[in-house]
Amino acid sequence: MSMERIIRIFAGVFVLASLALGVWVNRNFLWFTAFVGFNLLQSGFTQLCPLEMILGKLGVGCPVKTQARA
């Protein structure tokens, strides 16, 4: 499984879990949803993802294949 796919799964799980916790436990869990969204936004611009660095150091997942440039 590629690193990108693992990161997308993690983000989806964290967003859904924090939304559920925000609805049923405490509204302050919605701040965690905002944090995940902000992290996704900034990683789209900077290509810097903390989870990618952590997973890379742990040796989890295969790196994303880069396209050959013409």
Distances (CA, A) of 46 to 1, 4, 49, 69: 23, 15, 8, 21
Backbone angles phi and psi of 67, in degrees to 5: -80, 145
Query: How is residue 38 written in tokens?
Result: 């902000």
Q: What is the pLDDT of residue 69?
A: 52
3-state helix, strand, coil in the chain (%, to 5): 75, 5, 25
- Of 6, 14, 4, which Cα lies nearest the Cα of 35? 14
Q: What is the pLDDT of residue 1?
A: 81
The single residue listed with the structure tokens 């796919």 is: 5
pLDDT tens for the chain, 70 residues: list them.
Answer: 888 899 999 999 999 999 999 999 999 999 999 999 999 999 999 989 988 899 889 888 765 555 555 5
pTM of the model as a whole: 0.76
